[in-house]
Chains A and B, each alone.
Chain A
């Protein structure tokens, strides 16, 4: 076998290795999810969704957990959306060249790499103790809002910078002020991209567990929360709690709750991808 043959063989071998590795990863995920559905499907019922937690696995449900997740999702959105988009607009439109902007950029890159459990420690001390919010939904939502802020800022900036400068110039030429240009031209043109980023960030918040455990979200909450100052639990924490128990019945509950959690995350990601594609097709500059 001469060296050309060896090279060709290597080439072929890597092609096979590449495709099988890539497909293998996807298959592993498929097997994992299949296993979850196989285990959890039998428990998934209307009762499971509307029942309060209980000592008995068969009577336990995820009502308090998904209500808590919903509360956290809504509050986190309300806090992080204006903050993140505002910061993104500032960095992209106002502070582009100065030193402060450079510093902010490095800072945001750094924040994006801080482990989520550290945000929990921040929330525990800043919101739960110093601002005396207790182990409330509000404290948890503020913590998650700070956690996903870097993601929202970065995607807002990307969406804004994708708007062609001709639009900006045209608006300026017509005598619009800077903010009028942003509000009436830039934001409508980039809104699809911004929304995609925000939804992706929120889908991450829905799956977060560790920071909420640290700020004191409880594993067991007897009643569904009524307001933002109430104690709460969320789906991932309920899952964590059930997985940690030795009885097999609770593991089945965990699997069923995971189906619900995955459904929510995949749905949000699906919406985001759909929006992105639609926006990309529409905004073909």
Chain B
């Protein structure tokens, strides 16, 4: 009996260890392939050149165009998702009657359930043509449309995390504010939102991390032209959509083109890793305040 118990515990621990192996695997694989990539390409060129053309005859390995593409789409997405997400969170938490909340919340969650490839279709087939009708000169592939659609996709993500933050603020603060004669609006934005600010910041950081890792929407609707620009009207390429582009083709294992996706991958991984850890840190450091 005791032996059986011990064995079971070991098996369960092994299951948990798979997650550690996954992390180790990701870091090792990215590091090894990137290391041999940087044996062939100078790291200075990688971070300073403004040309990314590993698949052309005239090869150049500057990550900046992919970074600018990634930053641009993520920036557009967050500009859409953050204000809208916070407005929704405040509305649902402070204003909406219970019945309305019960209907709207699950409907909003549907936004988060739709597969990203479907959002890519929306961006290319619906949003781009609509935008083109009033923005002359907008290219068929551009950063604007996938950025907006990505923003729509992460709205429920921002709103539900912000709502959690708002609802963890003790009701006594709200009541005190009402007691002083404040309106709901004043209570919401002068008491509740500041009190929940750490949680809202966490939601914003995680949303940015989401946006820079998002792949299919940009792969479908942003074009695949690495370009060092912050112009949202022209085709661009992000780190993620570059990885997809190379994977769709037939690149031999061990070639430098094959290694570029790992070099791009590790850059992406480092950014998301930093953002995720900042948010985790804020969460553990500040969010316990009211408990």
Contacts and interface: CB of A to CB of B under 8 A. Distances in A.
A8 interface: yes
B20 A107 contact: yes
Contacts of A28: 152
B121 A10 contact: no
Interface in B114-160: 114-118, 120-122, 124-126, 152, 155
Interface string B246-279: 0110000100000001100100110011011100
Most buried by A among B12, B20, B100, B106: B12
Interface residues of A, number: 85
Contact of A23 (B1, B104, B240): B104
Interface of A: 7-8, 10-11, 14-15, 17-19, 21-23, 25-26, 28-29, 31-32, 35-36, 39, 82-87, 89-91, 94-95, 104, 106-111, 113-122, 124-126, 129, 146, 149-150, 153, 177-179, 203, 206-210, 213-214, 216, 219, 236, 239-240, 243-244, 251, 254-255, 258, 261-262, 265-266, 269, 273
Given A87-B15, A121-B265, A255-B121, A178 B5 contact: yes
Contacts of B253: 129
Interface stretch (B55-63, B82-90, B166-174): B82-90
Nearest to A28: B152
Contact of A210 (B87, B90, B100, B240): B240
A69 to B, nearest CB: 11
Interface stretch (B22-30, B43-51, B226-234): B22-30
A83 B126 contact: no
Contact of B26 (A7, A122, A244): A122
Ordered nearest first, which 7 A-B pairs have the shortest CB separation? A115-B213, A18-B91, A207-B115, A86-B15, A90-B12, A113-B276, A210-B215
Interface residues of B, number: 82
Given A18-B95, A125-B29, A25 B12 contact: no
A90 B11 CA distance: 9
Nearest to A183: B8
Nearest to B275: A113
B110 interface: yes
Interface of B: 1, 4-5, 8-9, 11-16, 18-20, 22-23, 25-26, 29-30, 33, 84, 87-88, 90-92, 95-96, 100, 104, 106-108, 110-111, 113-118, 120-122, 124-126, 152, 155, 182-186, 188, 206, 209, 212-216, 219-220, 240, 243-244, 247-248, 253, 261-262, 265, 268-269, 272-273, 275-277, 280
Contacts of A125: 29, 33
Given A17-B87, A239-B117, 16 more contacts: A10-B185, A18-B91, A87-B16, A91-B16, A104-B19, A117-B244, A146-B22, A150-B19, A179-B8, A240-B219, A243-B220, A251-B125, A258-B117, A262-B115, A265-B115, A266-B110
Contacts of B26: 114, 118-119, 121-122
